[in-house]
Each structure stands twice: as structure tokens, then as C-alpha cells.
Chain A
Amino acid sequence: MVRSAVVLNYMGKILIIIGIAQLSVVLCALIYSEPNIIRLFISALITIITGFILSRTFAHNHGINYREGFAIVTLGWIAASLFGTLPFIISGYIPSFADALFETVSGFTTTGASILTDVEALPKSLLFWRSLTQWLGGMGIMALFIAIIVGLGVRANQIFRAEVPGPVSNKISPRIRDTARSLWLTYVVLSGVLFLLLSAFGMDIFDSLCHTFSTMATGGFSTKNQSIGYYSSPYIQWTITLFMFLAGANFALHYMVYKEKTISQYWQDKEFKLYSFIIIVSSMITFLGILHISGGEEKFRAAVFQVVSIITTTGYATADFDLWAPMGKGILLLLMLVGACAGSTSGGIKVGRYLIMLQRAKIELQQMVHPKAMMPLRLGDRVITDALVINVLQFFFIYIFIVLVSTLIMNIMGLDYVSGLTAVLTCIGNIGPGFGLVGPTRNFGFLSDTAKYLLSLLMLLGRLEIYPFLILFVPQYWKE
């Protein structure tokens, strides 16, 4: 049974964390002495007070049960998104609720799709809030929550798993709380390094910080209308490429490399190997696909940057890839369906799932030759159970099914096929730009409110990897 008091109490606690994050926006406004300080302060206050009231009113000392775990994750994310709109609405820069919700969800889910035509018109404080939502959502609001809050008990494990992307998550410490802390620490350290590098290569402090936030989260919000294309420095572009790549790898793996002090950990990981392989091959093909555009290193850099940006579901752009030849665009479209590694900050289906599905396909064919053979599915030295294989295959089916149905709905609302399909793919995959009307130089602002709500829902579905969200719609879930 799901006890609403328990769920509401934890939602309250999550809101307090979001409210404290909003206070940092107030600080930012204070530094740049913006006129909207009071309004931002009010929005932060509303969030914190609501959170405080919820957690006080529904104070309890029960543990969380199995079902409540899912509700806490999903409803927690929804609550964070709803209250995350406040700075945009109250400051008056994004007055429409549908627009503000789209922008906030796009932030927390690290999608990076925007409804803004002119990003640079926003005050610095709101640009900071956009990037901060991505950074918080990247490693996970729940993971942060678990790392900070005491007393979640054994169910923290389940909450953690529901939020960490990928089919299998490795617990790198015996305690889930230490695991969450180690992962967040790795995240913070890598962010720190990126920030220093970007500042060193000539990006100003504010932009460095915002880009660090959205790169490490594989988010894709930029403070510039031209995205990373604004910075012509190859150093900045290569640095961001590298860190998108790192953020797309499993953070548990980064942590193990740091702990064991051997880089060979990377090459022992099948998923990491396949992930790197896909990037290399795709970059080559894309590079060949854009040979007709002039420029040598620049062209190569653009190809690699775009491939890494799309596969890691970041969604930055240095070029208008919508103008590329079909060969280059085809690769990018495929990559939208791939995603990066499990346990990373990226979205999408994930290389790990493809690895399992490819292995399973191979076994299926072999099994036709030897109907009575026993063929366990191996991933490295680990044997994947049938239950997990079914979970992965089913995930793939639901994912594709949702994409197809949503595309149809977008088409019904009048969007052409390419724009509709890529808008859906880019949102459920937490990427950002698509092709056509939602291409890298355009935005989602022109869509109807209904379309924006639908895409916001897809972003949340994609970020939480469907199951924790869909389970709330199973009637038995709410019953005794």
C-alpha cells in the first residue's frame, strides 16, 4: 500500500533542497545586481516554505516500503519540475506556464531543448538557474537526496536504482549512501576540472560555470544563442568534447579508476569499449558525410563534436547539422536512439542495453541451430539473468512504442514527419535539438501548449527510464 503521508513528506524534503538551490540564484542576481532579486527570493521562499510545511505536516517515522519508492522518485521529480518553474514565471521572463514547465523539465532531465528564441536576452540569474537545474538533474536529485538526508534505510537502494540510468547499476560501496556520495564527489571533481580548463581557455567565469554545469550533466543549455558555436577556440570545443565523452561514461567506472589507480579498468568494461567504438566509427562516417563543406581540422572537429554531443545526449551544436548531407544526418538520427553508458548522466536507451540485446540476438540465432543448448548471456564476467534480459527487451519495445505513438500525435498536431519524429526522439532521449523545425538553430517555442506538455512528459519518462513512471498508472499499484 502506498501511504500518501510518507510520499508527501519526502516530496517536502526534496522541495527544500530545490528551494535552497533557488537561493543560489538569488545570490547570483545579487552579484550581478539585477533588479529581479526580490521576485527570485520570493520564488525560492515559496518552494522552501511549501517543502517545510509538507515535511512537517506529514512527519512520520515509518520506513519506506517497496511501492512508495517509485512514487517518491516520480512524484519527487514532478514536484521539483513544478516548483522549478517559479523563478521563470515570477520574474516574468517566461510568463506562460507551459513554456516555463517545458524549460524547467528540459533542465532537470538534462534535455536542453528550449522554447526561448533569444537566450541572451535572459538575465544572468535565470541563465544560471537553467544550467543549475541541469547539473542537479544530471547526477540525480534523488542521488543527491540520498547522499545528504539520513535515515532512508534499505529502500534508498531502490530509489537510487530507479533514478540511475541503465539496466544494471553497480554499488561501489557496501552502503548506498556512500555510493551516492562517491558518485556525486566524482561528479563535482570532474566539474571542477572542466570549470578551470574552460576559464583557462578564455571563457569568462560565468559562462564557464554555466557550460560546466550543462556539459557534465550532458544537458546542453548554453548561455549563447549559437550554443558552443559561439566559441571559435578549438581548445574550448575539444575540451567540451572530451568532457561530454567522460560524462557519457559510467561514473562508477571513473570512481573505480580513481580508486584502483589503473586506467585499464576502462578497457575491461565492455560497455565503455562499445561506446568508444561507436563514437569513433560514427565520427569517421560523419566526417566523410560533411566533406563537401570546406575546412580541414574544423570540419573534423565539427563531426566529432556533433557525434559526441548527440550520443551523450548533450545536444550542444557547433554547426547547423540540419544542413548536412543525409549521410551525416543519418548517423546523428541513429545516435539519437543509442544514448551513452549506464550510470552516466546521459539519457537515451544506453549502450549497455544494446550490448545485452545484441548478445541476446546472437544467442537467439545460435539457439535455432542448437535448440537444446544452454547459452547464458555474459557481459564481461557477469551472467545476465533472463529476468533482466526481458526487462531490457521490454524497455526497448515500450520506448519505441512511445516514440511511434507520440510522433503520430505530433503529426496530428500538424508537425511534419521529420520534425515530429526528431522532436519526440530528442525529448524522450534527453538530447535537445532535432531536425527540421526543431533543428539546432531553432527552438520549441512555436509548438502548441498541448505539444509542450506532451514533450515535457516524454522528457520525464526518458529521464526516469519509463518503468518508475509507468508503474504509477498500474491500477493494482494503488490498491491494497
Chain B
Amino acid sequence: MKCIIIGAGKVGFSIAQLLSTEDHDVTVIEFDSERANLIDDALDVQVINGSGSSWRTLEKGGVKYADMVVAVTEFDELNMIACLLAKQYGVKTTVARVRNPEYLETPHFSPESMLGIDLIINPERVTALEISKLVNNPAALNVEYYAEGRVQLMELAVEEGSFMARKQIRSLNTARFVIVAITRKHKMLVPGGDEVITAGDHVYIMANTAEMPEVLQSLGIIYKRIEHITILGAGRTGTYLAHILEEQKLPVSIKIIERDVKRARDASIKLQRSLVINGDGSDLNLLEDENIGQSDLFVALTNDDKLNLLSSLIAQNLGVNKTIAKINRSDIMPLMQQIGIDVVLSPRILTAGAILKYIRRGDIISVTVLGEDRAEMIELVAQPGSIAIGKELRKIRFPRGSIVGAIVRNNKVIIPSGDDVIQSCDHLIMFSLARSIHKMEKLFINGGQ
């Protein structure tokens, strides 16, 4: 597939990187020449220095033969215009990043259909939605849903002395769940039955959504419902998050701390039930006065990475159980987790993930990027006539670093063992490291190999 990516910022870079490692032809259009050179050095892609809203540049980038255009510059209007132009050249799929909620919140018609853009993605909203999932699943560090919500994937941290620590996977009763992956010391691995879980691991557990609470219980994971949330920063992400949580009508009390008076006022007007506090999030006195230590969850969403880090640490020190921090510089993400922040989110990776999820559709139903672009969850339909059909799982030669997590057949979720046989039209939810994805896909697609 030939893709044009407009804007080589953080998101553009991530997408270009992922697509190029997956053997797609990627052209990056970047206005800033220094940034363009940097991309040229770092990635195996074609780089064009110019504006994505100019037809000349687009033609130079081969827009006439492109299958897809992804516009992710920092300017909403430029992204939209680039997509409109691309559509005129007959590009099949266009994706634009648009942050301004005014362009998106139209009650009467979808902005996609109005503008002729196939997917409009809003990074702040994506981030807020991600966090809201974590609020609803307090035990998890990360939650994903597949097969229309029937299958759930959870990332859990294993602590010293917990039930799972120092156990062999074989010794756990794995009839109702699959451990699809483990992250250990920033490396992701697909465990066999002999693997021993150690403290500090993050395990990825896949199970039937309805059965997940029981699975967690059987694994000795106790969690408390989240009732008090403190959000630092009433920017777009913070306001979106509070808004989403308010809409869910859960018995959750929300406090938002924002330093800027105007932003605090705007948020207080927009939000109905949340308490907006105008003050400095790193001010210990304020945090103590407002009893932040009693919160079940502290979410740091300012645009300042250092402030997010600092205030999360203060919150933990005051007694908050769980902290989530937004980080713009994804290179320091692992570091943050080491310090003890429970969940670190990068809007850039989330946005890239959301865009990838969309553009990799087709044979594949959905894709989730796990960790930092090292692995993916893939949901696809086993096509009639593909190699895997009619075979028992143990007899299929899966590439290294890949595993089937769940099968959905006739709307029923099957947690597979080696004896299960793949039938045509099964929905498969699989985990795979990036390098093995193509081999993995070929097993289930008609005419593969």
C-alpha cells in the first residue's frame, strides 16, 4: 500500500515508523526542512519538504497513486484541506487529525460525511477515552475490548508477594483466560507454559469480558471501585475526561485543578458536576487542603511533562493509590513507570494506534498497538481456504512471538487450548510482535504464502 503522511511531528513519526516496518511505501511531507532531514535519517521513507495543502507538493509525493493520506500536522484546517484535496485526486482513504472540538461536535451530522474525510481523529479525546476505560477497570493498567466488547484484554502489574508472583504459568488454572504477553524490563515476550511470572512483570490477560471479574478474583487481584478522581489540568484532555465521566453517570466525584484562571472558569462552566479548583498542582498546601490524598485516582494531564511527573509523585506521597500521567516525550515513558507512576500515556502513541487501527482494516478488523510500538493485538476473520482452517492450534506453525488469545465463534467466546480447531469465519484475536505480524496474518488469509 502507498501512504502519504503529512506532518512529521510526533504522531506522524510514529505512524510512518510503524507503517514502514510493515512493508508499506511511505511518503512523508513535512514543511520544516530540519525536521524533514531528521526523518530522512531516521526512517526508511521518502521525505518531501513542502506544504501538505499545496497540490504541487502532493503531486510530487505521488498523490495520484496513493491509497491513503494521513494528515497530522498541528493545524486542523491544513489537515482538513489536505484531505479534501487528496479526495479530489481519488485517494481512497483519508485521515485527519482535528483537535478543535468545534469542528467535531455537531449534533446533526457526522463531520466525516460532511467534509468527505474518512476518519477524523482527536488526540485529546482519544487520550481521555483511554483513561475513562481505566477508571472503569481500576485493577488494570491498560484495557482493550475486542469482538464488539465480548473479549477483554487487561494489562496488570505483578507485585512482590502477590498471588501470581513466582508462579509458573502452567500452574495457574488457565481454562478461562490466556496470558498473551508479558513485559519484563521493557521487553515484550510471549510466554510458554514454563515461563515463571516474576514481580515487576506486566502481564496481558485476555478473557471473556463477562468473566473477567471472576478471573481477576481467581488470580488474587483485589481492587476498590474508583470513587474520587483528581485531574490535574483543565486543558482539552482534562475537560474531555471529566465530561466523559460525567456522561457515564457513575457515582464518581471529580476534582479538577487548573492553574490558569480563564481555563479554570471555562471548564467550570462546561462541566456540570465536577469541582474545578483554580490553583497550582505542584503546590503541596493546596493539594493537602483539597484532601487529594483521599482520591482513588490522580490523573496528571497538563502539557508540562515535568509537572505531570512531579505532581503524580506528590499525589502518591499523599496517599493516592493509583496515578496516571500524560507524557508528550514518549522516550521517557519507561523511566516514568520505573519511578512508580502506574500508567503513563502518550497521546502520540494513542493517536498513532487509533489511526493504525483504522487504516489497517480490511482483512483485519482491528489492531491495537501495545507497549511502545513493539507489538500489536490483531482481530481478524479466518478466511475460508486459508491454511489454518481445520487445523488444531498446536499443529499450526505460528511464527515466533505470536499467540491466539481468543476465538469468537457464533457470538460465543472461546478461550483456546492447543486442541481447539480453527473453523472458517472464526473471529480471532491474536497477539503478535511487530516483526511477525505479516507471517501471522498470512496463516488466516486466503491465498496466503
Q: Which residues of A contact B (CB under 8 A)?
A: 370-376, 378, 383
5 nearest A-B residue pairs (beta carbon)? A374-B268, A374-B276, A372-B279, A374-B264, A372-B277
Output the least CB separation between B40 and chain A (Å). 48
Output the least CB separation between B280 and chain A (Å). 10
| A370 touches which of B265, B267, B272, B277 (Cβ 8 Å) | B277
Output the least CB separation between A367 and chain B (Å). 11
Would you call B74 an interface residue if the criterion is a C-beta within 8 Å of the partner chain's C-beta atoms? no
Contact between B269 and A373 (Cβ–Cβ < 8 Å)?
no
Contact between B265 and A376 (Cβ–Cβ < 8 Å)?
yes
Output the least CB separation between B107 and chain A (Å). 14
| B277 touches which of A373, A376, A383 (Cβ 8 Å) | A373
Task: Give the docked Cα–Cα distance between A37 and B286 (Å).
Answer: 79
Grouping DSSP codes into helix (H, G, I), strand (E, B) and loop, the A interface class, with mixed when no group exceeds half, is loop
Contact between B279 and A375 (Cβ–Cβ < 8 Å)?
no
Contact between B265 and A374 (Cβ–Cβ < 8 Å)?
yes
Task: Give the docked Cα–Cα distance between A378 and B269 (Å).
Answer: 8
Contact between B275 and A372 (Cβ–Cβ < 8 Å)?
no
Task: Give the docked Cα–Cα distance between A211 and B290 (Å).
Answer: 59
A371 cross-chain contacts in B, Cβ below 8 A:
289
B268 cross-chain contacts in A, Cβ below 8 A:
374-376
Would you call B127 an interface residue if the criterion is a C-beta within 8 Å of the partner chain's C-beta atoms? no
| B278 touches which of A372, A376, A383 (Cβ 8 Å) | A372
B276 cross-chain contacts in A, Cβ below 8 A:
373-375
A378 cross-chain contacts in B, Cβ below 8 A:
272
Besides A371-B289, A372-B286, A373-B278, 17 other A-B contacts (C-beta < 8 A): A370-B275, A370-B277, A372-B277, A372-B278, A372-B279, A372-B290, A373-B275, A373-B276, A373-B277, A374-B264, A374-B276, A374-B277, A375-B268, A375-B276, A376-B268, A378-B272, A383-B269
B 261-292 to A, binary, CB cutoff 8 A, 1 in contact else 0? 00011011100100111110000001001100
A370 cross-chain contacts in B, Cβ below 8 A:
275, 277, 290
B265 cross-chain contacts in A, Cβ below 8 A:
374, 376
Output the least CB separation between B422 and chain A (Å). 54
Task: Give the docked Cα–Cα distance between A327 and B383 (Å).
Answer: 82
- 28 A-B residue pairs with Cβ-Cβ distance under 8 Å, sorted by A, are A370-B275, A370-B277, A370-B290, A371-B289, A372-B277, A372-B278, A372-B279, A372-B286, A372-B290, A373-B275, A373-B276, A373-B277, A373-B278, A374-B264, A374-B265, A374-B267, A374-B268, A374-B276, A374-B277, A374-B278, A375-B268, A375-B275, A375-B276, A376-B265, A376-B268, A376-B269, A378-B272, A383-B269
* Nearest neighbor of A373 in chain B, beta-carbon distance: B277
* Nearest neighbor of A366 in chain B, beta-carbon distance: B275
Task: Give the docked Cα–Cα distance between A374 and B265 (Å).
Answer: 6
B275 cross-chain contacts in A, Cβ below 8 A:
370, 373, 375
* Nearest neighbor of B275 in chain A, beta-carbon distance: A373
B278 cross-chain contacts in A, Cβ below 8 A:
372-374
Task: Give the docked Cα–Cα distance between A376 and B273 (Å).
Answer: 11
Task: Give the docked Cα–Cα distance between A196 and B276 (Å).
Answer: 55
Of B264, B265, B272, B276, which is in contact with the most chain A CB atoms at under 10 Å from its CB? Answer: B276
* Nearest neighbor of B258 in chain A, beta-carbon distance: A374
Output the least CB separation between B88 and chain A (Å). 39
Task: Give the docked Cα–Cα distance between A375 and B268 (Å).
Answer: 6
* Nearest neighbor of A375 in chain B, beta-carbon distance: B268
Task: Give the docked Cα–Cα distance between A371 and B277 (Å).
Answer: 8
Task: Give the docked Cα–Cα distance between A383 and B272 (Å).
Answer: 11
B277 cross-chain contacts in A, Cβ below 8 A:
370, 372-374
A373 cross-chain contacts in B, Cβ below 8 A:
275-278
Task: Give the docked Cα–Cα distance between A372 and B269 (Å).
Answer: 15
| CB-contacts of B14-39 with A (<8 A) | none
Output the least CB separation between B239 and chain A (Å). 13
Output the least CB separation between A388 and chain B (Å). 15
* Nearest neighbor of B256 in chain A, beta-carbon distance: A374
Of A375, A376, A383, which is in contact with the most chain B CB atoms at under 10 Å from its CB? Answer: A376
Task: Give the docked Cα–Cα distance between A371 and B275 (Å).
Answer: 12
Task: Give the docked Cα–Cα distance between A376 and B278 (Å).
Answer: 13
